[in-house]
A and B are shown apart, each in its own frame.
Chain A
Amino acid sequence: MYSVTEQEMIETETSPQNKEVLAIEVMGLTKRYGPNTVVNNLNLAIPQGSIFGFLGQNGAGKTTTIRMLLGLIRASSGRASILGHDTVTQRNQILPRVGAIVETPTFYPYLSGRENLKQLALIARVPFSRITEVLEQVELKERASDKVKTYSLGMKQRLGIAAALLNNPQVIFLDEPTNGLDPQGTVDMRNLILRLAQSGRTIFLSSHQLHEVEQLCSHVAIINRGKLIVQGSIQELLEGTTKTLMEVAPLSTAQRVLAQCGGQNIQETGLRSLQLEIDPQLVPDAVQALVGAGVRIYSVGQKKASLENYFLAVTGGEELDGEQSAGADTAEDQAA
């Protein structure tokens, strides 16, 4: 787990070894609209071939960041590079190697799916033969001749992915790709993203669906109100969040013994339940000591914090997507 400082970013940037393997680098990227700073001095380092989850609540600045990276809007300050090319001055070299869905995919409703892709193929100078390939990839070939206005949201999302894949990109930006999808659509989309990642592409996945990100991503960054809170691999981030849970009686004796055995942050969570942090290697000795002290042990288990809990903890347990997440306090404790 690490928070990225500007200094660290500069070190990352100047290291030739890292430069070769980073798909996206963002340095001090800032976007202001009048007095409002929507993205504030953002630094990101995204390894090539990773599925990178870009997490934040609605309005945290995720889409604005993607728009800046793609050149749809201009940064107020800072800079970014994709595959080693500056996103402002070398956009010509970047665009042929990048695919993107920005927010909800939008198409011309009076054209068919295939015709919409033809539009983009003509602009990106991609041969029409590629259209059939990507339609097959997203399993939309059967409906390709139907007008887009007849498509369901899930089909539009898949067509959006097809559009993003049209130029066979090395880096794919997916902005909330499962937004509004039904459970089956969400599963299909998740499988599709995994298939894309298997081909070695770097996937930048912006989302507030934490469960989805946890299942898909190897690395994540969390932003809150435009500021980077933390970034790293999910494994690193969740390391140290494992808690040991015990059902024991009496609690007072158990707490005293566990403290002597190296237990920390011991908390009562029920009439005969404890939660503590302890090195897993010390658990057998602790159990033996508890038995020796006359403590009755009903169960011993471990609990790892989910990314959702971690997210809520580092963003201050604020409402996620308009709903108060249950157990936010516990999550905060767990991730602390």
Chain B
Amino acid sequence: MLGLMRAEWMKVTRQGTTRILMGLLAGISVLFVVGLTMSVTATQPGNENLLLRQEAFSRLGFPGGVFTGIDIIRNIGFFIVAIFFSSVIGSEYGLDTWKNLLVRSNARGGFLAAKLLVTGLALLVVFIITVAIAQLVALGGHALISDTATQAGLTNQVISADQFFHNLWVQVVPLLLSYAVGATFAAMFTIITRSTVSGILLTVVWAILDTAVAYLVPSVSDFTLDKNIASLGKYLDSAASGTMPLWQNLGVFGAYFLIPMIVAIVIFRRRDMAGN
């Protein structure tokens, strides 16, 4: 398993998709923070609300920039997960390289497990770098506009370490859980269709459907991932409680996470490798 994981890590870190997605996230981070910085200093009509400007200013400091980075990931992270996981698995079909790998080791399930684990780890690193870039650029923006902001009556807000980690926990855990489910769906769809593009599209369509059902079909909305993750997020925030029982939130998450993964592994192990 360790050999499989080392091999996967080499591929994931060297392939173009990883670098393109990293570059994309870095670019978006810079643009987002630049926009945030401008929104603090802009004084044109419509931007007189000091509360909003204060909120933006806080997001430029430390550790406010961390949450700016997390916001960026929250907005586009699911698409990144779908693209990343589908391409990592789909490229083996596209390049027809499964045939090279599967004649070296008998552990088909091991190949897939190693791929999912390493891809998840690589994506986590990409997200951490994105947050770090957002924080760094935010600090630069903060330094640039600090005097102007102070003159406008904006202040540097300080939060305690406890509050920081609590906020981090409450925001990051639900995000990671929903991304973990997105990853297993992307893997399953890619393996079923043997295609990166189809894997991405079906994962995104599934996510849209899940959210739509959560809001539009009350009779089954309690079993959607969207609603259960939202409820779970409230449990994580000690100040609030979830809208549904915790066991149900965890059960629904477990089902959404495990079922696609099991389907993917079973299909991958049992199906012929057509090689194209």
Contact = CB atoms under 8 A, between A and B. Distances in A.
Interface of A: 67, 70-74, 91-92, 95, 98, 100, 102-111, 115, 118-120, 122-125, 163, 167
B162 interface: no
B272 A74 contact: yes
Contacts of B158: none
B201 to A, nearest CB: 24
Contact of A120 (B95, B104, B274): B104
Contacts of A124: 104-105
Contacts of A70: 103
Interface in B253-276: 272-275
Contact of A98 (B98, B103, B272): B103
B43 interface: no
The 9 closest A-B pairs by CB, nearest first: A73-B272, A122-B3, A122-B7, A124-B104, A123-B104, A72-B273, A106-B96, A119-B7, A102-B99
Given A108-B14, A167-B104, 5 more contacts: A67-B272, A73-B272, A73-B273, A91-B106, A115-B14
Nearest to A124: B104
Given A118-B10, A119-B10, A123-B7, A163 B99 contact: no
A111 B14 contact: yes
A71 B4 CA distance: 19
A70 B273 CA distance: 11
B99 A106 contact: yes
A92 B11 contact: no
Please tell me the size bucket of the interface on B: 20 to 34
A104 B4 CA distance: 23
B239 to A, nearest CB: 48
Contact of B101 (A103, A105, A123): A123
A108 B15 contact: yes
B102 interface: yes
5 contacts: A95-B103, A100-B103, A102-B275, A103-B96, A106-B97
B100 A110 contact: no
Q: Which of B6, B16, B101, B275 has the largest number of chain A CB atoms within 10 A? A: B275
Contacts of A110: 14-16
B95 A108 contact: yes
A13 B78 CA distance: 57
Contacts of A118: 7, 10
A74 B97 CA distance: 18
Nearest to A125: B3
A96 to B, nearest CB: 9
Contacts of B275: 67, 72, 102-103
Interface in B86-116: 95-106
Given A67-B275, A122-B7, A107 B100 contact: yes
Interface in B38-69: none
A123 B7 CA distance: 7
A72 B100 contact: no
Interface string B111-151: 00000000000000000000000000000000000000000
Nearest to A102: B99
A163 B100 contact: yes
Contacts of A115: 10, 14
Contacts of B104: 95, 120, 123-124, 167
A193 to B, nearest CB: 19
Contacts of B3: 122-123, 125
Contacts of A125: 3
Contacts of A123: 3-4, 7, 101, 104-105
B106 A111 contact: no
A44 to B, nearest CB: 19
Nearest to A123: B104
Contacts of B6: 122
B100 A120 contact: yes
A98 B102 CA distance: 12
Nearest to A166: B104
A70 B14 CA distance: 29
Contact of A111 (B10, B96, B100, B273): B10
